[in-house]
Amino acid sequence: MDCSGLTSIELPNSVTEIGDYAFSNCSGLTSVELPNSITVISGGTFTNCSGLKCILIPNSVTLIDYEAFNGCESLLSVDIPNSVTIIEDGAFKNCKGLRSFIIPNTITDIKRETFSGCTGLKNIVIPNSVKSIGFSAFSECTGLETVIIGDSVTFIDESAFSGCTGLTNLTIGKSVDTFNSNAFYDCNLKDVYCYIQQSFPGYVFIGENAFANSELSYEHRTLHVRHGSLWEYQYSDWEPYFGSIVEMGGVGDVDGDGKVSIKDTTILIDYLLMGDDATYYSGSADVNGDGNVSIGDVIALIDQLLSANN
């Protein structure tokens, strides 16, 4: 059926599910409003709707199925409600216009090729709910510059971020124990901040060419590791990929730049006001050592700075 002339869709509340590929290749479609009765966006529903710019996903939706929005090149942003617990393979693949995407903290796994080819994405924060990042999940996201991987991620599969040539800054949470082959292949990583807290981070599995790069030589790449853990990385599988392995400044060094300054206080306050996971990790932000990050840590950090200046 030729649906190229269809420009908008508004479905009644009697609809609970849309069938596979129901609106695929409707290139003239620009906006969609889904009713609160919808629980599933089925496989390929909006595949290759190249003109789609806006879609409202109600908080009744729990599943976005495989390739649901594959090839929606004009889609700029999508608000995913916390009701969504599963985003399947290739759901947003080749959404080249997508500029931002907030992964809800109800997602536990980022599936195969979910965001592959989303060349417009700039920054991605993987929330602490996520445990694994699948095969080629963010591959060829050439505009990606910064990635923050949350503290619950343990597994990063093959080619997860391969070909992200714009990626220069990466933060790795405390639980990662596997980087499969080509995980970050051909990423121009200049600074990697590693908060892994395994018994011996140097023994983390790093597959073939996991951090290899054909353009940026290892001399220009720095691995920043937890304070006091430098020896754990010596003679490990990390060394061939990084010209420098340096320790971060320890407790209070919230931004991981190797020193404690007023900037760390500002970042910590911003986190407390906005709840931005991208700005801290508990190992450096829990300044008073009570196991939580709170206003008490801001006070302790200010005291630390004042004491250092006396």
Residues 91 and 86: their CA atoms lie apart, in Å, by 10
Higher pLDDT pick, 264 / 120:
120
Pairing mode of beta strands 178-179, 205-206: parallel
Domains 1-107 and 125-247 share a fold: yes
CATH code of the domain occupying 260-310: 1.10.1330
How is the chain split into domains, by residue range?
1-107, 125-247, 260-310
Higher pLDDT pick, 288 / 108:
108
Higher pLDDT pick, 61 / 234:
61
Domain 125-247 has CATH 2.10.109.10: no
Does pLDDT of 1 surpass 80? no
In the block, which residue shows the tokens 């395994």?
198
Residues 209 and 194: their CA atoms lie apart, in Å, by 18
pTM summary value: 0.83
Domain 1-107 has CATH 3.80.10.10: yes
Q: What confidence category does residue 17 fall into, taking pLDDT thresholds of 50, 70 and 90?
A: confident
Q: What confidence category does residue 104 fall into, taking pLDDT thresholds of 50, 70 and 90?
A: very high
Residues 26 and 211: their CA atoms lie apart, in Å, by 40
Average pLDDT, stretch 223-241? 86
Alpha carbon 27 to its chain's center:
29
